[in-house]
Chain A
Amino acid sequence: MNSENKVLLQVINLKKYFPVSRGLFTNRQTRYVKAVDDVSFEVFDGETLGLVGETGCGKTTVARTILQLYRPTSGNIIFDGIDLTSLAENELRKIRRRMQMIFQDPYASLNPRMTVGNIISAPLDVHTDLGGKEKQDKVQDLLRLVGLNPDFVNRYPHEFSGGQRQRIGIARALALNPDLVICDEPISSLDVSIQAQVVNLLEELQDRLGLTYIFVAHDLSMVRHISDRMVVMYLGKVMELADRNEIYLRPRHPYTRALMSAVPIPNPRKARDRQRILLKGDIPSPLNPPNGCNFNTRCPMAQAICFNTDPEYREIEPRHYVACHFA
């Protein structure tokens, strides 16, 4: 996807802090978990933006805040020109049909007491007044679209395998013909051979329906396969944003470099020849991020400036953004 496409979504200086209560009896909040700490990026119409990072990086919080499942602490989310953060609940509801989510755990995200048909038609019930036959037809179309037998309409989730349940989740997400679909770790709980099936399906649907994806995941090779551009996050901040090949072949941020070198390569010779950058230590707690650059506790290149000044997030090449003093 090229940048001539229009911008579908803008995330501007997004912050989401979660208060943690302290104090003997009261809920006096003196500390915050800075789950998302000033994140900005754009998503172009029709592209797949990969959002990667490890535990505590905030990618899932970003995804949820975009959908306004959490209200941002500060910052703006502009969807197709409309600032979501300024909308009232009823206006927001109308926009919601254009942004949907596919969830990680296909066992937990489907109500075990609802039939598949009801699960998929639930969004239709909320947002449209389709009824009777029209609604049934739509549900069956959706099942066919995701490669499931439409006769399964009256079955319950527990009668399906993990991969099939994930397809049901996808059908549900597509029921309202959204523009943007956020996939929150949609394949992590699936077996390898099933992951390929689901990813192929997602790509096919994107081509057919002109969808835009934000793909949140920690499986870096799969994210690279499906994404056009990638955002690398660490401890609530964006470290790097670039085209996917740039991220893999010419990463500029030391964290991205370490991350890419840590990805397992299913090719023995290449794997042995590869130089791995091993990071020391653990990911700090988001309750207590370091002063200066968030990555300074583990960065192999950290210098004095890294410990007292937050690096600026800037465009070092066209469409390639990095937050590092030395990129």
Chain B
Amino acid sequence: MGRYILRRLLSVIPTLIGVTLVIFLFQRLIPGDPAVAMLGEHANAENVARIREQFGLDKPAFLDRDALAEGDLPGFFDSQYVRYFGRLLQFDLGESIHRRIPIAETLKERFPATVELSLLAMSIALVVGIPIGILSASRRNSFLDGATMIGSLVGVSVPIFWLGIMEIMFFAVIMKWLPSGSRLSSGIVIKPITNLLLLDSLLTGNWVGFKDAFLHILMPAISLATIPTAIITRMTRSSMLDVLQEDYIRTASAKGLSERIVLFRHALKNAFLPVITIIGIQAGTLLAGAVLTETIFSWPGIGKWVYDSILGRDYPIVQGVTLLIAIIFLVVNLLVDLSYALLDPRISYE
């Protein structure tokens, strides 16, 4: 098992390097002067010069052969990519072109918002999806099963923006039960420790703040959760159906074990592997920023931010966030693989 984990962890490094290379290359694929491409033809010269300097565009892309010819070994390695990589190692993602604020700082503010929303949405998806999937599988073709299948189909098909707007209309505008956007009402302050507002308010004993944050996050979380819930329900159901056909389930029943134990102890652990894969993919997608949900609910996460940046051609932000998303997927995949090893003893041993 140890060897498997070690191998898996080590394989992250070359992948990460590869990711930075790809992101780096994409920018260079734009024909013409990258700086002008970023800023547009009518950009002023000062900005262009600043971009050129930030990205080191006067240097060669990868390796400076001229410097090598002159015997300048450090100079050989002084290239755009190396500089870029060096800055990454210092967590320097550059600055926004238009606002000139360091990207890393904005990330620190906005990423937790997305994380909090995603975590809550994923929790809803798991808490709702998995039990319903299990029950559906055990009561195949029953009313519950039929309702589940229809429900999950609806969940996957309903456009999120429509759902979100409907929620706002009903809960915020008509019933006035819930606020219509953003994370907190004005005037409420929560001491930022992790910037996960629900957590921070609990840590500081701020009950009022907690309640407010909770009311704000409820609708967007439910909107965001619809697709993952539907998918996880279906996946759990079909995986359970497969497992329930297996011989060892018959053996467990033949021992006189109750249906509950057969389902939750014998079947679930085996059925869970494909579900974990799906959870991984969904988690990655959620964390990558739910643009639609964030836009509708004015949620200050990275999804909306990167969307705006693309429209505003603020490339350093796009580059930085893309890198972050890539890292998120890497980490999530790593966790999924490691959990395989935990769940399935056949994988740990060779």
- Asked if B3 lies at the interface with its beta carbon under 8 angstroms from chain A, I say yes
Query: A111–B332 Cα gap in the complex (Å)?
Result: 41
**How many residue pairs between the two chains, A and B, have CB atoms under 8 Å in the bound complex?**
7
Q: B5: shortest Cβ distance to chain A, in Å?
A: 12
- Asked if B255 lies at the interface with its beta carbon under 8 angstroms from chain A, I say no
- Asked if B42 lies at the interface with its beta carbon under 8 angstroms from chain A, I say no
In the bound complex, residues from chain A placing their C-beta under 8 Å from that of B346 are none
In the bound complex, residues from chain B placing their C-beta under 8 Å from that of A25 are 7, 10-11
For chain B, which range describes its interface: under 10, 10 to 19, 20 to 34, or 35 or more residues?
under 10
CB nearest neighbor in A for B11: A25
B 1-34 binary contact with A (CB < 8 Å = 1; else 0): 0010011001100000000000000000000000
Query: A24–B3 Cα gap in the complex (Å)?
Result: 8
In the bound complex, residues from chain A placing their C-beta under 8 Å from that of B3 are 24
In the bound complex, residues from chain B placing their C-beta under 8 Å from that of A24 are 3, 6-7, 10
Query: A25–B11 Cα gap in the complex (Å)?
Result: 9
Q: A29: shortest Cβ distance to chain B, in Å?
A: 14
Query: A25–B10 Cα gap in the complex (Å)?
Result: 10
Query: A25–B6 Cα gap in the complex (Å)?
Result: 11
Query: A25–B3 Cα gap in the complex (Å)?
Result: 11
A 70-104 binary contact with B (CB < 8 Å = 1; else 0): 00000000000000000000000000000000000
Q: B348: shortest Cβ distance to chain A, in Å?
A: 16
Query: A240–B348 Cα gap in the complex (Å)?
Result: 40
In the bound complex, residues from chain A placing their C-beta under 8 Å from that of B11 are 25
Query: A24–B10 Cα gap in the complex (Å)?
Result: 10
CB nearest neighbor in B for A24: B7
Q: B1: shortest Cβ distance to chain A, in Å?
A: 14
Query: A24–B7 Cα gap in the complex (Å)?
Result: 6
Q: A259: shortest Cβ distance to chain B, in Å?
A: 29
A 1-31 binary contact with B (CB < 8 Å = 1; else 0): 0000000000000000000000011000000
Q: B12: shortest Cβ distance to chain A, in Å?
A: 13
CB nearest neighbor in A for B6: A24
CB nearest neighbor in B for A22: B350
Q: A192: shortest Cβ distance to chain B, in Å?
A: 23
B 252-275 binary contact with A (CB < 8 Å = 1; else 0): 000000000000000000000000
Q: A20: shortest Cβ distance to chain B, in Å?
A: 10
Query: A24–B9 Cα gap in the complex (Å)?
Result: 12
Query: A54–B7 Cα gap in the complex (Å)?
Result: 36
Complex interface residues of chain A between 11 and 53 (CB less than 8 A to chain B): 24-25
Q: B75: shortest Cβ distance to chain A, in Å?
A: 33
Q: A133: shortest Cβ distance to chain B, in Å?
A: 48
In the bound complex, residues from chain A placing their C-beta under 8 Å from that of B10 are 24-25
CB nearest neighbor in B for A25: B7
In the bound complex, residues from chain A placing their C-beta under 8 Å from that of B6 are 24
Q: B153: shortest Cβ distance to chain A, in Å?
A: 31
Query: A24–B11 Cα gap in the complex (Å)?
Result: 10
Q: A31: shortest Cβ distance to chain B, in Å?
A: 11
CB nearest neighbor in B for A20: B350
B 104-146 binary contact with A (CB < 8 Å = 1; else 0): 0000000000000000000000000000000000000000000
In the bound complex, residues from chain A placing their C-beta under 8 Å from that of B7 are 24-25
Q: A24: shortest Cβ distance to chain B, in Å?
A: 6
Q: A4: shortest Cβ distance to chain B, in Å?
A: 53
Q: B13: shortest Cβ distance to chain A, in Å?
A: 11
CB nearest neighbor in A for B3: A24
Q: A28: shortest Cβ distance to chain B, in Å?
A: 13
Query: A24–B4 Cα gap in the complex (Å)?
Result: 9
Q: A59: shortest Cβ distance to chain B, in Å?
A: 27
Q: A318: shortest Cβ distance to chain B, in Å?
A: 48
Complex interface residues of chain B between 298 and 322 (CB less than 8 A to chain A): none
Query: A323–B11 Cα gap in the complex (Å)?
Result: 49
Q: B45: shortest Cβ distance to chain A, in Å?
A: 50
Query: A41–B7 Cα gap in the complex (Å)?
Result: 45
Query: A111–B6 Cα gap in the complex (Å)?
Result: 43
Query: A25–B7 Cα gap in the complex (Å)?
Result: 7
Q: B56: shortest Cβ distance to chain A, in Å?
A: 33
Q: A315: shortest Cβ distance to chain B, in Å?
A: 42
A 253-287 binary contact with B (CB < 8 Å = 1; else 0): 00000000000000000000000000000000000
Complex interface residues of chain B between 172 and 192 (CB less than 8 A to chain A): none
Query: A24–B5 Cα gap in the complex (Å)?
Result: 11
Q: A249: shortest Cβ distance to chain B, in Å?
A: 40
Q: B44: shortest Cβ distance to chain A, in Å?
A: 51
Q: A287: shortest Cβ distance to chain B, in Å?
A: 11
Query: A170–B82 Cα gap in the complex (Å)?
Result: 66
A 306-325 binary contact with B (CB < 8 Å = 1; else 0): 00000000000000000000
CB nearest neighbor in A for B350: A22
Q: B199: shortest Cβ distance to chain A, in Å?
A: 39
Q: A21: shortest Cβ distance to chain B, in Å?
A: 10
Q: B203: shortest Cβ distance to chain A, in Å?
A: 42
Query: A158–B11 Cα gap in the complex (Å)?
Result: 46
CB nearest neighbor in A for B7: A24
Query: A100–B336 Cα gap in the complex (Å)?
Result: 47
Query: A24–B6 Cα gap in the complex (Å)?
Result: 9
B 36-72 binary contact with A (CB < 8 Å = 1; else 0): 0000000000000000000000000000000000000
CB nearest neighbor in A for B14: A25
Query: A123–B51 Cα gap in the complex (Å)?
Result: 68
Q: A27: shortest Cβ distance to chain B, in Å?
A: 13
Query: A25–B4 Cα gap in the complex (Å)?
Result: 11
Query: A25–B13 Cα gap in the complex (Å)?
Result: 13
Query: A198–B142 Cα gap in the complex (Å)?
Result: 46
Q: B209: shortest Cβ distance to chain A, in Å?
A: 50
Identify 7 residue pairs between A and B in the complex whose beta-carbon atoms are under 8 Å apart, listed by A's number. A24-B3, A24-B6, A24-B7, A24-B10, A25-B7, A25-B10, A25-B11
The 5 A-B residue pairs whose C-beta atoms are closest, nearest first, are A24-B7, A25-B7, A24-B3, A24-B6, A25-B10
> Could you tell me which B residues sit within 8 Å of A by CB distance?
3, 6-7, 10-11
> Could you tell me which A residues sit within 8 Å of B by CB distance?
24-25
